[in-house]
Structure 1
Amino acid sequence: MKEDFLHYLWKFKKFDNLNLKTVQGEVITILKSGDYLELAGPDFFNAYIEIGNQKWAGNVEIHLKSSDWYLHNHEKDPAYKNVILHVVWENDTAVFRENNTEIPVLVLKDYVSKEIIENYNTLVAPKTWISCERQLKDIDGFVFKNWQERLFFERLERKSKFIYQLLEETNQDWEAVLFCLLAKNFGLNTNGNSFLQISKAIPFAIIRKESFEVENLEALLFGTSNLLNAEKEDVYYKDLKFRYFYLLHKYQIEKTYTEPLQFFKLRPDNFPTIRLSQLAALYHRHQNLFSKIIDLKSVDTVHSLLTVSASLYWQNHYKFDKESPKKSKTLSKSFIDLLLLNTIVPLQFAYSNIMGESIAEDLIDFMNEVTSEKNAIIDKFNSFGIKSKTAFDSQALLELKNEYCERKACLKCAIGLELLKNN
């Protein structure tokens, strides 16, 4: 038994609420169960309850055991002074206010049917992957679709927090924010944090000024990433190193030290050298990139805008001083789709929120143009009959798994609530 189950019971009145009595024997009539705000303080605010012949307005606190009141030190917290009813599963001690009057207690287990307890235990019982895996495909399509949309936008809201943080750090410079986001996502999971540090270490005003020479952009990116610290005979390497130290002097930039870049276990096309060169190529090709990205409305326009290649040197290199067979290092369709998911759509969402505009339907349409991601989580959902055809589907399922299933938050999940109700 968990406390969130008691919250669910109280919020939705899933108990015999017509014959309630306190442990002191007074009749309870719930006129309003209160607002479940999930904030610090009592569990339900602004409840309206009749106890005996007295009507009370105040808050309701819920615990598994009444002694939890003292375990959590509520008696010392002024936020709990207005608690009018203590709802518990087990009453193992009396709880008193500051003036020594006893807080009325309702023992909820005396009014909950065995069926709903069995349904709850079935829902949260340990399973091989997620609690409702055998019942997922039976969920009403309307319920699932609505929940899918909610999950999608919850995911965007979480990603937006990082964007708002970058806005503060860059003095509300959206172009600089975009540069940081793109850098992080060009680095993927392995080098994302290192690429982010690199992007933050170079004032974006300098990227703007030097974008007309791709070699200068590469010099800044490679130098800041500490890839130009060695002594090599490679002519291109020497040129970048010269440019880097010239630019340090020109702009009076202090040399920074970022996390070491990782090459191990990466496919050569994902080597940080290739991704940094492609990032430089993107900013060499496009000035005012933010204004172009914020206006993108279709996947085709995204691919047209972001299809760039690493510079000529990297056509036959993956690392400095080591020649390889010639190959065009152009951003792939699948990589651009990742940038769309993790940079473009979150940025458009955050920007529209700041501007007070609603583009929810546009974003859903946008994501439905992109093929579903393929990973272990999506494959597992597919095996349970939940098919993911588009990126809208897969983004919602990732949010469901990571933010609800992994946290065992079945009673905050529309699927869990629907299964509990249907059972």
Structure 2
Amino acid sequence: MQEDFLHYLWKYKKFDDSALQTVKGEAIQLIQVGQHNFNSGPDFFNAQLNIDHQLWAGNVEIHVKASDWYVHHHEIDPAYDNVILHVVWEHDVDIFRKDNSEIPTLELKDIVSKSALNGYRQLFSKTQRWINCEQDFATVDDFILQNWLERLFFERLERKANDMQLLLKASNNDWEAVLFKLLAKNFGLKVNGEAFFSLAAYIDFKIIRKIQNKPITLEAVLFGQSGLLDVEVEDAYFKSLKTEYMLLCQKFGLTQHHIMPFQFFRLRPPNFPTIRLSQLAQVYVKNKNLFSKIIEAKTKQDYYDLFSVHTSSFWETHYTFQKTSRKVNKSTTENFIDLLIINTIIPVKFSYSKNLGAINTEEIIALITEVEPEHNSIIEKFESLKPISKSALQSQGLIQLKNEYCNNKKCLYCAVGSAILQRF
């Protein structure tokens, strides 16, 4: 038995409340269950009860066993002085406040609906499943699912915005510098994202501002700081980059830092870190004041225009410094820019508008619903249960659902789990 399930039983009154009594035989009339509290303190605030013909207004605390009150030391915590009812699955000891007055106790184990218990046991059975509700996910109403996924999408954005605040503080509120770090991370994709982020973190963005109108200089900084120039290659372009980088080290006092090594293994050549670094450099060559342009842009096409770039000419015939390849125009694709919109642009716009105190919800929804859903193992598995991912809004919501709710078995806090349990 989980305490979360007892919260669910109380919140939705999944028990026979026609003749409620305390363990001492006092009649209970349930007027309001109260407001569910997800923070510290009693589990439900501002409940209203009639106990033994006396009207009470206050808080409700819930435990599996009554003795948990003492296990959690609530008897010495003033936050629990206003508890008017102790709701437990099993009553094993009487509970008293600090002033030695007894707190009325309601025991649930003999009054809970059997169907609710069966639904709970079915949802949390020990059978090995990808998610607890795997057998019932497809039966959940589309309206419930779509609204829940939208809420989860914004929940995921809130987490990203909180992470961004830490970066903003470290960058002295320089949004352009924060954007550079986040773009670098996402240009590195999943395999090299952390390495690219580490690289950007060790480059003062003031330097990028000063040199971004010089393509070879910008590439020299990125390749040099990444350690990719720490080899010997007989090529004119490579040597010019290395010479430029040595001059920049003297001019700006650049020093190399230990960053995660870039990975080439098992990557498609267009995703090699060399190609992505050149494209990142070209984004900044093309766009001065990139942050302002992102904030002003509205549609998906606006972002395609901003981030559609080619590598420098050397990389048209190379994937690495050491080997020549067939000439290919290596430009950022719309699918790649979609990932930038999902993982960088929208979080930045959301966080910036939140800082201004005016979250642009409608604009963000309009943009994210223009973007195609991601394709990964999580989305594919959900789609096999029920086709639900119409845009990146749903795919982002599904990722949040799996990582934060399904994996942590927080079914009782999930709209899907609640909808399934409501049937019982």
Question: Is this a same-fold pair by TM over 0.5?
Answer: yes
Partner Cα distance (1:400, 1:39) in 2:
21
Counterpart residue number, 2:297: 296
Partner Cα distance (1:105, 1:247) in 2:
73
Counterpart residue number, 1:330: 331
Counterpart residue number, 2:120: 120
Q: CA deviation at 1:184?
A: 0.8
Counterpart residue number, 1:180: 181
Q: CA deviation at 1:76?
A: 4.1
Question: 1:364-406 CA deviation, whole Å, 9 max, x = no partner?
Answer: 2222222221122222222222232322222222222222222
Partner Cα distance (1:319, 1:9) in 2:
61
Question: 1:254-284 CA deviation, whole Å, 9 max, x = no partner?
Answer: 4322222222222221111111111011101
Does the 8 A contact of 2:46 with 2:58 survive in 1? Answer: yes
Partner Cα distance (1:385, 1:260) in 2:
40
- The one-letter amino acid of 2:35's match is D
Counterpart residue number, 1:28: 28
Counterpart residue number, 1:68: 68
Counterpart residue number, 1:281: 282
Q: CA deviation at 1:165?
A: 1.9
Q: CA deviation at 1:53?
A: 4.2
Question: Aligned with 1:9: secondary structure?
Answer: helix
**Where do residues 263-282 of structure 1 align in structure 2 (5 Å cutoff)?**
263-282=264-283
Partner Cα distance (2:93, 2:242) in 1:
73
Q: Which moved more, 1:228-237 or 1:303-312?
A: 228-237
Counterpart residue number, 2:390: 389
Partner Cα distance (2:75, 2:231) in 1:
64
- The one-letter amino acid of 2:290's match is L
Q: CA deviation at 1:203?
A: 1.2
Partner Cα distance (2:68, 2:304) in 1:
57
Does the 8 A contact of 2:123 with 2:133 survive in 1? Answer: yes
Partner Cα distance (2:93, 2:81) in 1:
18
Q: CA deviation at 1:182?
A: 0.3
Does the 8 A contact of 1:63 with 1:87 survive in 2? Answer: yes
Q: CA deviation at 1:289?
A: 0.7
Counterpart residue number, 2:7: 7
Q: CA deviation at 1:213?
A: 0.7
Counterpart residue number, 1:198: 199
Partner Cα distance (1:57, 1:45) in 2:
9
Question: Aligned with 1:110: secondary structure?
Answer: coil
Structure 1 gap segments, 5+ residues each: none
Q: CA deviation at 1:358?
A: 4.0
Does the 8 A contact of 2:153 with 2:397 survive in 1? Answer: yes
- The one-letter amino acid of 2:287's match is H
Does structure 1 residue 146 correspond to structure 2 residue 147? yes
Counterpart residue number, 1:47: 47
Q: Which moved more, 1:183-192 or 1:146-155?
A: 146-155
Partner Cα distance (1:263, 1:326) in 2:
20
Counterpart residue number, 2:367: 366
Partner Cα distance (1:186, 1:73) in 2:
50
Question: Aligned with 2:86: secondary structure?
Answer: strand
Partner Cα distance (2:327, 2:109) in 1:
72
Question: Aligned with 1:325: secondary structure?
Answer: coil
Does the 8 A contact of 1:226 with 1:257 survive in 2? Answer: no
Q: Which moved more, 1:344-353 or 1:11-20?
A: 11-20
Does structure 1 residue 133 correspond to structure 2 residue 134? yes
Partner Cα distance (1:58, 1:409) in 2:
27
Describe the shift of the 1:78–1:233 C-alpha distance in structure 2 as closer, same or farther (beyond 3 A). Answer: farther
Does the 8 A contact of 1:248 with 1:255 survive in 2? Answer: no
- The one-letter amino acid of 2:15's match is F
Partner Cα distance (1:238, 1:206) in 2:
21
Structure 2 gap segments, 5+ residues each: none
**Where do residues 190-269 of structure 1 align in structure 2 (5 Å cutoff)?**
190-269=191-270
Does the 8 A contact of 1:187 with 1:275 survive in 2? Answer: yes
Does the 8 A contact of 1:224 with 1:257 survive in 2? Answer: no
Q: Which moved more, 1:306-315 or 1:31-40?
A: 31-40
Partner Cα distance (1:262, 1:143) in 2:
42
Partner Cα distance (2:64, 2:387) in 1:
35
Partner Cα distance (2:395, 2:301) in 1:
20
Partner Cα distance (2:39, 2:388) in 1:
36
Question: Aligned with 2:109: secondary structure?
Answer: helix
Partner Cα distance (1:310, 1:399) in 2:
34
- The one-letter amino acid of 1:122's match is Q
Aligned residues: 423
Does the 8 A contact of 1:224 with 1:258 survive in 2? Answer: no
Partner Cα distance (1:10, 1:238) in 2:
72
Partner Cα distance (1:374, 1:32) in 2:
45
- The one-letter amino acid of 1:96's match is F
- The one-letter amino acid of 1:414's match is A
TM-score (norm 2): 0.93
Counterpart residue number, 1:108: 108
Partner Cα distance (2:20, 2:350) in 1:
47
Q: CA deviation at 1:352?
A: 1.9
Partner Cα distance (2:371, 2:264) in 1:
29
Question: Aligned with 1:106: secondary structure?
Answer: strand
Partner Cα distance (1:197, 1:79) in 2:
44
Does the 8 A contact of 1:248 with 1:254 survive in 2? Answer: yes
- The one-letter amino acid of 1:94's match is D
Partner Cα distance (2:25, 2:169) in 1:
57
TM-score (norm 1): 0.94
Partner Cα distance (1:205, 1:342) in 2:
24
Does the 8 A contact of 2:279 with 2:310 survive in 1? Answer: yes
**Where do residues 396-407 of structure 1 align in structure 2 (5 Å cutoff)?**
396-407=397-408
Partner Cα distance (1:297, 1:363) in 2:
9
- The one-letter amino acid of 2:31's match is L
